Amino acid sequence: MKEKFYVYIYLDPRTKSHFCYQSLSFLYKPLYIGKGQKRRYLDHLKYLEKHTNYDFKHVLKEILNEGFTKQDIENHIRIIPCNSEQEAFNLEIKLIKEIGCSKFGGPLTNWTDGGEGPSGWTSNEDFKKNLSKRMKSNNPMKSEESRKKVSENLKGKRLGNKNAMFGVDRSGDKHPRGMLGKHHSQKVREDQSKRMKDRFIGDKNPSKRLEVREKISQKVKLTNKRKRLLKTLNLILMEKHNGY
């Protein structure tokens, strides 16, 4: 049996009111709109830490931090069944446009206008470039004002015992991904060796470039100059100490 497609809408359980739009009305503020099938609408909660839409992820975490559970959020997801995937795409685009994304003053945390990611479809290079361009233009951290706000909010929050890693010992075998007492397999070592050789053999070696060699030469000269200066200072101090 062919799986049905649908459009899902995440609603904010904290904001009970009347939110009316052209096609739909809600008792809670809409947060995010997506399209899917099976249990796709739950992936945002299931894989919250891996979520790439940081705005939506941040709002979901705020809701959880205020005492709501994932089940509370799930209970406030509205599902609209569709007869085909194309119908779901069209409805997703329509609703995002009607309700509005946060960058245009709307409540939605969507980064795109919808209509991406058909099931089983592999994107080509042109699509990837266009999507990358749109994602960059939608980046909330692009403006100086946004960066300043984030900076002000973070000041003092991660210092001392407020830092999640404060007092945590991750040395040696206590590190969750530590290699103490472990060894890479022969295949891994061979792969690493091949990658390094491919990066630095022949013309790929950065030290072959004239500007790189000049920088290295300048650093070596400066280092040698500092060594000579330190040696001279040590001799002067020794002479003073010995009373010469």
Per-position DSSP letters for 141-165, written without gaps between them: GGSHHHHHHHHHHHTTTSSGGGSTT
Residue with the larger pLDDT of the pair 190 and 240: 190
Helix, strand, or coil here: 32? Answer: strand
- Across the chain, mean pLDDT equals 79
Band (37; pLDDT cuts 50, 70, 90): confident
Residue 107 CA to chain centroid, in angstroms? 21
pLDDT digits (tens, 9 = 90+) for 184-222: 888 888 888 888 877 777 777 777 778 878 888 888 888
Q: Determine the Cα–Cα distance for residues 87 and 79; give it in Å rounded to an integer.
A: 14
Query: DSSP state, 39?
Result: T
Nearby residues of 220 by Cβ (< 8 Å), 6 or more positions away: none
| Residue carrying the six token digits 């709002």 | 59
Residue 1 pLDDT greater than 50, yes or no: no
Both tokens of 30, joined, read: 């809409």
Q: Which of 3, 2, 57 is nearest to 35 (CA)?
A: 3
Q: Determine the Cα–Cα distance for residues 13 and 62; give it in Å rounded to an integer.
A: 11
Residue 5 main-chain phi, psi, to 5 deg: -95, 160
Band (120; pLDDT cuts 50, 70, 90): very low
pLDDT score at 138: 67
Q: Determine the Cα–Cα distance for residues 95 and 107; give it in Å rounded to an integer.
A: 12
Q: Which long-range contacts (CB under 8 A, 24 or more apart) does 175-182 make?
A: none
Both tokens of 119, joined, read: 């099931």
Both tokens of 4, joined, read: 């049905």
Residue with the larger pLDDT of the pair 175 and 123: 175
Nearby residues of 42 by Cβ (< 8 Å), 6 or more positions away: 74
pTM of this structure: 0.47
pLDDT score at 122: 54
Which of 47-61, 154-168, 197-211 has the highest mean predicted lDDT (pLDDT)? 47-61
Kind of pairing, strands 5-20 and 77-82? antiparallel
- What percent of the chain stands above pLDDT 90? 1
Q: Do 44 and 51 form a contact (C-beta atoms < 8 A)?
A: yes
